[in-house]
Amino acid sequence: MRRNLLLLFILCLCCLYTKGQEIDTTFIYTYPNASWITSYLSTSAVNMTTEDKTFEPNNPLKIGVGLGIRNTMINFLVGTKIVSLKDKTYGKTSSTDFQVHRYGRKFVTDIYFQRYKGFFAMDGKDTQLFPAMKISQMGLEQTYVFNHTRFSLKAAFERSERQLQSAGSFLLGANVYWHQLRDFEGFDGNFVQNLDNLQVGAQGGYAHSWVLGQHWLITAYTTIGFNIGNDVENFRNFRFKVYPTVLARTVASYTKNDWSFTYGMMINNKMNFFETKKDYTVTNVNLQLSVTRQINFSF
């Protein structure tokens, strides 16, 4: 566990620094302030969907703050849990959810380490609890933005820049993911033990920002890809299956002078297979409301 967390930390440091690139200033405005501060409300969850059920955690609402300093490795959000979104009828979920989403000039980097224990599923109007069920995933995605001189993901998702005219870009990237499922009650009522799945693959797509008047910006970002993978033992023996993947991000923001109000959503789907060859989908869902203020702090 410590080795995995150390690896993720090193990857974070590697991806947080990017050199400035030339931009078309008629499309992208860079704030003169070197720093920004963010406050936010968010919720994040890992769900699993089978052929007949959806297993959800009783995930918490989080509140937090963030700080960004341009041209440094300092750009982060930290938060704390407030309250579970559902009452005790839906069980209790314990979780570790560590994510980094770095929107550089040319590259988008996404890093995940998530571990959830305790799920519920609806059976008609009845609620079934699965307190021992555990889902873990760890992953890294790197995506190249082709039209990086006129299209800014920083403006949409980081708010360190401002998109002046509508623009878009094609996207192309690669990813690696590891999924683990423990103590899951299978289709026959017995427990399926020790499912471990490793996937590597590529994805492509398109992102576009619409500038609406002087203050509004709406951005949609979608990639679709295919991974090859299998359980760890079969992967080592070069026996692979093909898995489709879908990632969608949307954000709407209102910007005035040196502050902005933003609502964002991200949905990341990865398909897997049981040994019985029935499929299941692991879905990572993030929702966030945030307020960002440009400040004159630098060093």
Interval 166-188: pLDDT, tens: 999 999 999 999 988 888 876 55
Residue 99 lies in a domain: yes
Residues in the chain: 299
Residue 177 lies in a domain: yes
Res. 89: pLDDT tops 90 = no
If one counts every other C-beta atom within 10 angstroms of the C-beta of residue 46, the result is: 25
Residue 176 lies in a domain: yes
AA identity, residue 166: S
Number of domains forming the structure of the chain: 1
Question: When comparing pLDDT for 47 and 3, which is higher?
Answer: 47
pLDDT at 177: 93
Question: When comparing pLDDT for 156 and 124, which is higher?
Answer: 156
Res. 225: pLDDT tops 90 = yes
Residue 203 lies in a domain: yes
In angstroms, the CA 47 to CA 242 distance is 21
Residue 299 lies in a domain: no
In angstroms, the CA 110 to CA 107 distance is 10
**Region class of 17: left (phi > 0), else alpha (psi between -120 and 50), else beta:** beta
Assign 203 a pLDDT band (cuts: 50, 70, 90). very high
In angstroms, the CA 47 to CA 60 distance is 14
CATH number at residue 80: 2.40.128
Assign 216 a pLDDT band (cuts: 50, 70, 90). very high
Res. 13: pLDDT tops 60 = no
pLDDT at 226: 93
User: Using one digit for the tens of pLDDT, what is the confidence trace for 250-282?
Assistant: 999 999 888 899 999 999 998 877 666 677 889
Res. 104: pLDDT tops 90 = no
pLDDT at 17: 42
Mean pLDDT for 89-111 is: 88
Query: Pairing between strand 126-145 and 60-69?
Result: unpaired
Q: What share of the chain has pLDDT > 70, as a percent?
A: 86
User: Using one digit for the tens of pLDDT, what is the confidence trace for 20-72?
Assistant: 458 899 999 988 777 888 899 999 889 998 877 889 999 888 888 888 877 66
What torsion, rounded to 10 degrees, do the Cα atoms 205, 211, 215, 217 define? -10
Residue 278 lies in a domain: yes
Res. 135: pLDDT tops 50 = yes
User: In a 10 Å sphere around its CB, with 0-12 CB exposed, 13-18 middle and 19+ buried, how is residue 57 labelled?
Assistant: buried
Res. 11: pLDDT tops 80 = no
Residue 38 lies in a domain: yes
Phi, psi dihedral angles at 140 (to 5 degrees): -140, 130
Expressed as residue numbers, the domain containing 161 is 2-294
